[in-house]
């Protein structure tokens, strides 16, 4: 089943502290952005990528996409202040029917198998997200004092891709705009429609490069993949 993918890539990488969009950082001499785009470009089921970018990155991103021979970028839209605004810019250019994924450009290690499982689940359920079981104990605190320990067995660390029937994602974003709701992922907008959201267990390698130590983790993941072949 073909799908489209919206790839939010319009962030500033403030927590990375690189002084630029972290998607320019290189892993084994290739920009993070290209690592991520290649996965979808090489997936025969990917019908096209919609990139949400910061206008200041447009020329450089276009040069990178051309240099690395990425073929399936069908649209480039201007992102917004929040990640959600950037995704919504992509939603606005979607075709009417079918399945769409939303995947952070900052997550270069997504696997095709996970993508395809999400597409199949979203075809059945309307919405499906990648996640991994939480390994740490999670507590809620007021300032630095614990107020609650959250029972761990039902907790998931949610990732992207997040897959949706296009109409479901469009309705969710339109409702969020109307009600001025901002969520940290697209599934939270869909949940409040309300609409069910299924979980597909992904893998711990699917990290989001967010803070400086994540670059070292990313290099270790690449090294492991080369060793495993």
Ligand X SMILES: C[C@](O)(CO)[C@H](O)COP(=O)(O)O
Ligand Y SMILES: Nc1ccn([C@@H]2O[C@H](COP(=O)(O)OP(=O)(O)OP(=O)(O)O)[C@@H](O)[C@H]2O)c(=O)n1
Site residues (CB under 6 A) for ligand X?
83, 104, 158-160, 184-185, 208
Binding mask 161-200 for ligand Y (x = CB under 6 A): ----------------------------------------
Q: Does the footprint of ligand Y cover residue 214 (CB under 6 A)? A: no
**DSSP annotation of 28:** T
Among the listed residues 207, 216, 210, the one whose alpha carbon sits nearest the alpha carbon of residue 17: 210
Q: How far apart are CA 99 and CA 1, in angstroms?
A: 8
185 binds, among ligand Y, ligand X, none (CB under 5 to 8 A by kind): ligand X
Is the previous residue joined to 133 through a cis bond, with omega within 30 degrees of 0? no
**Closest approach of ligand Y to the CB of residue 188, in Å:** 14
* Of 70-78, 99-107, 125-133, 170-178: span binding ligand Y (CB under 6 A): 99-107
152 binds, among ligand Y, ligand X, none (CB under 5 to 8 A by kind): none
User: In angstroms, what is the C-alpha Rg of the chain?
Assistant: 17
From the number of C-beta atoms within 10 Å of its C-beta (0-12, 13-18, 19+), residue 222 rates as middle
Buried b (16+ CB within 10 A) or exposed e, 44-68: eebbbbbbbbbeebeebbeebbeee
Interface residue with ligand Y, options 3, 5, 6, 10 (CB under 6 A): 10
Closer to ligand Y by Cβ: residue 83 or 165: 83
Q: For residue 211, count other CB atoms closer than 10 A to its CB.
A: 13
**Closest approach of ligand X to the CB of residue 86, in Å:** 10
Interface residue with ligand Y, options 98, 183, 208, 214 (CB under 6 A): 208
Contacts to ligand Y by CB under 6 A? 8-16, 22, 52, 79-83, 86, 104-106, 208, 210
């Amino acid at each position: 089943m073909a799908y489209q993918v919206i790839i939010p890539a319009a962030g500033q990488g403030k927590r990375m502290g690189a002084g630029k969009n972290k998607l320019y950082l290189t892993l084994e001499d290739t920009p993070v952005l290209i690592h991520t785009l290649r996965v979808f470009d090489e997936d025969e089921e990917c019908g096209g990528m919609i990139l949400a970018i910061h206008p200041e990155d447009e020329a450089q991103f276009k040069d990178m996409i051309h240099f690395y021979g990425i073929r399936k970028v069908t649209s480039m839209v201007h992102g917004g202040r929040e990640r959600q605004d950037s995704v919504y810019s992509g939603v606005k250019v979607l075709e009417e029917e079918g399945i769409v994924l939303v995947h952070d450009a900052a997550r270069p290690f997504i696997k095709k198998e996970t993508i395809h499982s999400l597409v199949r689940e979203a075809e059945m359920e309307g919405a499906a997200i990648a996640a991994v079981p939480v390994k740490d104990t999670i507590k809620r605190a007021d300032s630095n004092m614990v107020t609650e320990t959250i029972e761990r067995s039902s907790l998931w660390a949610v990732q992207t891709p997040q897959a949706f029937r296009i109409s479901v994602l469009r309705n969710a974003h339109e409702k969020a705009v109307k009600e001025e709701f901002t969520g940290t992922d697209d599934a939270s907008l869909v949940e409040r429609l309300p609409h069910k959201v299924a979980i597909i267990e992904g893998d711990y390698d699917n990290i989001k490069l967010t803070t400086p130590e994540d670059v070292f983790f990313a290099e270790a993941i690449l090294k492991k993949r080369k060793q495993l072949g």
